[in-house]
A and B are shown apart, each in its own frame.
Chain A
Amino acid sequence: MSEITLRNICKQYENEHFAVKDFNLDIHDREFVIFVGPSGCGKSTTLRMIAGLEDISDGELWIDGQLCNYFEPKDRGLSMVFQNYALYPNMTVYGNLAFALKIRKMSKTEIDKTVRGVAKTLEIEHLLERYPNALSGGQKQRVAIGSAIVRKPKAFLMDEPLSNLDAKLRAQMRIELAKIHKETETTIIYVTHDQTEAMTLGSKIVVMKDGLVQQVAAPAEVYNHPVNLFVAGFIGSPSMNFMKAWVAEEGGHAALYLGSMASDSKIILDGAKGQRLLEKEKGNEVIIGVRPEDIYEYEDAVKGGFDKNSINICKTVSTREVLGAEVVLYFEEQDKTQAVRLKPENMTRVGEDIDLYVDPDRIHVFDLSTEENIFYGKEQQA
């Protein structure tokens, strides 16, 4: 049972610079929380503050109902997996796993039982007598996870644990981690800049930027309802396409004109969304965001029934990526490279023109100055 609560946590350095500002989060038992964001956004600093490796400048850290700001790292009952594994090179794998237990003065037989149990779970029994330098990256990572598990901590803290592994091994370890989370039934706080890891592993994602929390939500929620331009652009690969557009009223509905009011590329938003848009931004310039998979060719637009009230973008393909199950085409619009994800049957070549239609239901609109999502922004949630 472990509940971790962060209340207005700040990290301020001597030069007055805030690495983390007003971080608020409730982490419930058995949750898999992911801190994600670009480098320098304060995600690792927050994790290290929870671990006790960095002082908390301001705010409160509660672990299981205890205020832990001034607790020594060892007294917080947490364990951490580091990016570079942090295995003791002078000890065998067995020694590494047993180290924390030895310090806690556990009896030898008990240590042996626990270590072998953990080794079995992680399938590293055959490596117990080896030294870390005789292990491969993946094996080292397993041992590192093992030495975190062995103490049965209240929560695991993981600082980019998979970023030193190659792509294939990373995918494999990701699945293993999910399995370990299920088996050990512990809370995990995981830091990564890899959004695939964030989306696949997390039960809750915390998106950060410049020391500020941008959005806290389940992966699907973050993907489908990003609160602002940053979250929308950060989550998803290829990232969301952003284009400027003007809002006008047309027959009671909201119309978005791509680029300028005189543009013939427009999209009609009806219903509540359209009303909301008119109410907030009528006559203003806004940023619209469309995910690459929400842009269709004509036939699919007809099938979806939005060929009439959608932006029709006719563009020259600049790059074509065949990914097997899909084709990603890139084109230039408003001086930016935009991407569209189409079915693999699409045969449009580089240099050819393509007609594209945006699904109006899946469109995001952001305020030009605040960059908040007009439909799902903080104001809406409140």
Chain B
Amino acid sequence: MSQTDVNVLPGGNLFQNKISKEELETLKLEMNKKALLKRRSQTTGRIIANIAVAFVVLLPLLYAVSIAFMPSGELFSMDMNLVPEHPTLENFSSALTNVPLIRFILNSFLVAGLITLGQIISCSLSAFAFSFLDFKGKGVLFMIVMATMMVPGEATIISNYLTVGNWGMLDTYGVLIIPYLTSAMGIFLFRQFYMTFPMSLYESAKLDGCSNLKFILKILIPLTKSAIGAMAVYTFINAWNMYMWPLLVTGSDKMRTVQIGISMLNSVDSQSITLMIAGVVIIIIPSISIFIVGQKQLIKGMFSGAVKG
């Protein structure tokens, strides 16, 4: 009887067919190598695919950065100029001198910052009421708040303009900030987050003698940092990118925000694409950096509550 025969016999002593320790070792190594190779090749494949897709997605942005450094003569040549041959900072300096870009950036920071702060305070407080307090008409009220999300901003923008115009608020910081101090989206986001909060924590705090405000400050806020972070990033970027409303309600250079300011670089008399792109690159730096700083919080907050764990 050969050794293989012994091996297939049902109930036969498999250990009779012993492999030496070395053989086992080499077999193990070989199999490990194979598995490792497979895994590595898969990872490499994925990384390459990711880089390719990322390149396609980022191409316009990268090209914009590249144009910002190009002398305008280079851009309008017949050659395919993806990378500047003679990089220059001239576009940036003229973008900053042609229009008061620094002032615009400061305006935008002030407006976006205050809107963010205001929304966090108002949305978290109302979300607290909607999720922890019991009052008559809570469901209906929440529905009404949510319904406002269905109305596009453009539909109300004219009546809003007329209202603030009659109040004499045009061309002030107030008119840029006050209408945006709360948002249904923010209330919804916070409420979803608070819904995952165990009610007994609130009840326990109440029995401990905690007032609602103290509960929010001492327990709720520390525990919802990621939601607040997500909300802050989201709101800030939205406010930074506002265009229609600031265009409508501001008239002077003193009050203009960056998004309006940047379009001023595109004048009929002296159109310079390189100049405009340089301006664009300058103003996306703050919003991108805010995103980079807050991206972990943003993702964590957006998806928290989606799955338990």
Residue A351, interface by CB 8 Å:
no
B204–A86 contact, CB under 8 A? Answer: yes
Q: A152 vs B200: C-alpha distance in the bound complex, in angstroms?
A: 20
Q: Are B209 and A51 in contact (CB under 8 A)?
A: no
- Interface size range on B against A: 10 to 19
Q: In the complex, which residues of chain B have a beta carbon less than 8 angstroms from the beta carbon of A99?
A: 208, 210, 218
CB of A59 to closest CB in B, whole Å: 20
Partner among B200, B206, B223 whose Cβ is within 8 Å of the Cβ of A84? B200
CB-based contact B207/A80 at 8 Å: yes
Interface SS of B by simple majority: helix
Q: How far is the CB of B286 from chain A (nearest CB, A)?
A: 31
Docked complex Cα distance between A79 and B204 (Å): 8
Asked whether any CB of chain A lies closer than 8 Å to the CB of B222, the reply is yes
> In the docked arrangement, what's the CA distance between A52 and B219, Å?
21
Instruction: Specify which of A73, A83, A84 lies most central, judged by the most chain B CB atoms within 10 Å of its CB.
Output: A73
Mark contacts of B205-231 with chain A using CB atoms, 8 A cut-off: 1 yes-contact digit, 0 otherwise: 111111000100011001100000000
Q: How far is the CA of A103 from the CA of B205 in the complex (A)?
A: 10
Is B204 a contact of A90 with CB atoms below 8 Å?
no
Q: Please indicate the chain B residues that have their CB under 8 angstroms from the CB of A78 in the complex.
A: 207
* A73/B206 contact (C-beta < 8 A), A84-B198, A86-B200, A88-B201 known: yes
Please count how many residues in chain A sit with their CB below 8 Å of the partner chain's CB atoms: 22
Residues on B with beta carbons closer than 8 Å to the beta carbon of A151: 208
User: How far, in whole Å, are A104 and B222 apart by their CA atoms in the complex?
Assistant: 21
**Do B223 and A103 touch across chains, with their CB atoms under 8 A apart?**
no
Partner of A86, one of B203, B214, B222: B203
Q: At the interface, yes or no: A89 with Cβ under 8 Å from chain B? A: yes
Task: Give the distance in Å from the alpha carbon of A89 to the alpha carbon of B225 in the complex.
Answer: 13
Are B198 and A86 in contact, with the CB atoms below 8 A?
yes
B residues in contact with A127, CB < 8 Å: none
Is B203 touching A103 in the complex (CB atoms < 8 A)? no
The interface residues of chain A lying within 8 Å CB-to-CB of B209 are 74, 100, 103-104
Partner among A73, A83, A88, A90 whose Cβ is within 8 Å of the Cβ of B207 = A73
CB of A322 closer than 8 Å to a CB of B: no
- Beta-carbon contacts under 8 Å, A80-111 to B: 80, 82-84, 86, 88-90, 99-100, 103-104
**Which of B205, B206, B218, B223 is close to A89, meaning CB atoms less than 8 Å apart?**
B223
**Assuming the A-B contacts A88-B219, A103-B214, are A74 and B208 also in contact, with contact meaning beta carbons closer than 8 angstroms in the complex?**
yes
Min Cβ gap B300→A in Å is 16
Instruction: Specify which chain B residues have a CB less than 8 angstroms from the CB of A53 in the assembled complex.
Output: 203, 206-207
- Asked if residues A74 and B219 are in contact (CB atoms below 8 Å), the reply is no
Nearest B residue to A75 by beta-carbon distance? Answer: B209
Nearest chain A residue, comparing its CB with the CB of B204: A86
Interface centre among A51, A52, A53 (most CB of B within 10 A): A53
Distance A83 CA – B214 CA, assembled complex (angstroms): 24
**Cβ A80 vs Cβ B203 within 8 A:** yes
Question: Are the CB atoms of A90 and B219 closer together than 8 Å?
Answer: yes
Quote the shortest CB–CB distance from B205 to chain A (angstroms). Answer: 8
Please, which residues of chain B bring their CB within 8 A of the CB of A84?
198, 200
B226 → A minimal CB distance (Å):
12
Residue of A nearest to B136 (CB): A14
B208 / chain A contacts, CB cutoff of 8 Å: 74, 79, 99-100, 103, 147, 151
With A and B bound together, what is the CA distance between A104 and B74 in angstroms?
73
**Which partner residue on chain A sits nearest B220 by CB separation?**
A90
Collect the chain B residues with CB atoms within 8 Å of residue A86's CB.
198, 200-201, 203-204
Residues of B within 8 A of A82 (CB): 200, 203-204
* Residue-wise interface mask of B (191-206) relative to A, using a CB-CB cutoff of 8 A (1 in contact, 0 not): 0000000101101111
Residues from chain A with a CB closer than 8 A to the CB of B214 are 103
User: CA–CA, A69 to B198, complex, Å?
Assistant: 25
Q: How far is the CA of A213 from the CA of B198 in the complex (A)?
A: 30
* Residue in A74, A79, A83, A90 whose CB lies within 8 Å of B222: A90
Q: How far is the CB of A138 from chain B (nearest CB, A)?
A: 18
Q: How far is the CA of A72 from the CA of B198 in the complex (A)?
A: 21
Q: Would you list which residues of chain A between 20 and 75 have a CB under 8 Å from chain B?
A: 51-53, 72-74
A147 to B219, CA, bound (A): 16
Are the C-beta atoms of A80 and B222 separated by less than 8 Å?
no
- Measured between beta carbons, the chain A residues less than 8 angstroms from B198 are 84, 86
Q: How far is the CA of A303 from the CA of B210 in the complex (A)?
A: 65
In whole Å, how far is A205's beta carbon from the nearest beta carbon of chain B?
Answer: 25
The 8 A-B pairs of least Cβ separation, nearest first, read A74-B209, A100-B208, A86-B204, A86-B200, A82-B200, A90-B222, A103-B209, A73-B206
Chain B contact residues, CB within 8 Å of chain A? 198, 200-201, 203-210, 214, 218-219, 222-223
Having A53-B206, A79-B207, A88-B201, one finds 11 other A-B pairs with CB under 8 Å, namely: A53-B203, A73-B203, A73-B206, A73-B207, A80-B207, A82-B204, A84-B198, A86-B200, A89-B223, A90-B219, A103-B209
25 contacts between A and B (CB under 8 A): A51-B207, A52-B206, A52-B207, A53-B203, A53-B207, A72-B206, A73-B207, A74-B206, A80-B207, A82-B203, A82-B204, A83-B200, A84-B198, A84-B200, A86-B200, A86-B204, A90-B222, A99-B210, A99-B218, A100-B208, A103-B208, A103-B209, A103-B210, A103-B214, A104-B209
